[in-house]
């Protein structure tokens, strides 16, 4: 993978479980790393959740193969947060492909 292709800056957020004052478990996300990525594909799909139709944005990002990312992390990019739905390692291209979908909370 050529360095000139990595034009986007993303933050990798790592989940951690904290307990609040009443003993409830809350998942919070902390910045794990800030890295460069490449936006490969953008598409919109229609989802129907209990009669509520939404159009979450789905992207495919490529990062270098050695970046510390796993399936449980979250991506912060352009002021929005995204869940990782698929993580593929491409050894010949020396990259990781991340399928991400916008968080709808």
Q: What is the pLDDT of residues 40-75, one digit of tens each?
A: 876 666 666 677 766 667 889 999 999 999 999 999
Query: Is 0.75 topped by the overall pTM?
Result: yes
Spatial separation of the C-alpha atoms in residues 30 and 18, rounded to whole Å: 12
Q: Which of 33, 34, 59, 29 is nearest to 44 (CA)?
A: 59
The pair of structure tokens assigned to 7 is: 């034009």
């Amino acid at each position: 993978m050529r360095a000139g292709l990595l034009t986007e800056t993303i933050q990798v957020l790592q989940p951690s479980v904290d307990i609040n004052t009443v003993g409830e478990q809350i998942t919070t996300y902390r910045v794990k790393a800030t890295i460069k990525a490449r936006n490969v594909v953008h598409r919109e799909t229609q989802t129907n959740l209990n009669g509520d139709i939404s159009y979450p944005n789905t992207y495919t990002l490529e990062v270098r193969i050695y970046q510390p990312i796993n399936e449980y992390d979250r991506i912060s990019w352009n002021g929005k947060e995204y869940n990782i739905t698929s993580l593929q390692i491409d050894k010949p291209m020396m990259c990781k492909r991340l399928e991400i979908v916008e968080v709808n909370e």
